[in-house]
Amino acid sequence: MTRIALAIYDMDKTVTRKATFTAFLLHAARRLNPLRLALVPATAFTGLGYVLKLIGRGRLKELNYSLLIGRPDPARLAAVIESFADAQLEHNILPGARARIAADKQAGCRLVLATASYRLYAAAIARRLGFDDVIGTLQQVDAQGRTLARIDGANCYGAAKQDMILAWLREQGLERDAIHVRFYSDHVSDAVVHRWADEPVAANPHRPLLDLARAEGWEVAEWK
């Protein structure tokens, strides 16, 4: 039986040169309500709370999103998302990642972006890069259709990312033995997905992942 080929990519520092979350918050604050930029120093305190392990990654995202974006009108937020995605495509995508994405697509792979970033804006970036599907951190929406800072479900990071990939496969009606998975990520937090994949690729790996990839015999790709 011919298996369906999936090429699953992490986003920040795998496909992009730099992480996108803080950049998105600042981009949105400047365009939606520049007065919120006065709250940027407060993010140092939320960051300290994370470093001291008083709050987790997900809560850190929620707090900083609430500080710098709030609950803007959906139409205005949608326009900001599109302008942010355009800026990322212009300045923040690694040429080597573009080339590998194009090669996987040419080879007939179904392209999936699986990222801890909010799906809110990751989907716009993915669409421009030709991805077929996006798995990302979801947000709650209020009765007026406004996107909230509050995460809906889990932060798509570490073991939760694998859980969300598996949930997506079930939604798509795809059994594990019916697919062949190539997985790309830069960070050791995704090692659980690397081990689950048929072809694990350490892309632009930081040192802990590079050491693990060498020990496990995984492919190492440098796109920077």
Three-state SS string across the chain, please? CCCEEEEEECCCCCCECCCCHHHHHHHHHHHHCHHHHHHCCHHHHHHHHHHCCCCCHHHHHHHHHHHHCCCCCHHHHHHHHHHHHHHHHHHCECHHHHHHHHHHHHCCCEEEEEEEEEHHHHHHHHHHHCCCEEEEECEEECCCCCEEEEECCCCCCCHHHHHHHHHHHHHHCCCHHHEEEEEEECCHHHHHHHHHCCEEEEECCCHHHHHHHHHHCCEEECCC
pLDDT tens figures, 11-29: 999 999 999 999 999 999 9
Domain coordinates in residue numbering, the chain: 4-18+74-221
Round to whole Å and give the CA distance between 200 and 172. Answer: 22
pLDDT tens figures, 106-131: 999 999 999 999 999 999 999 999 99
- Copy the structure tokens of residue 119: 């799906």
Q: Which CATH superfamily is domain 4-18+74-221 in?
A: HAD superfamily/HAD-like (3.40.50.1000)
The mean pLDDT of 26-55, rounded to a whole number, is: 96
Beta bridge partners of 166: none
pLDDT at residue 1, rounded to an integer: 67
pLDDT at 76 over 90: yes
Cβ–Cβ under 8 Å, residues 199 and 219:
yes
The mean pLDDT of 126-139, rounded to a whole number, is: 98
pLDDT at 214 over 80: yes
pLDDT at residue 224, rounded to an integer: 84
pLDDT tens figures, 45-63: 999 999 999 999 999 999 9
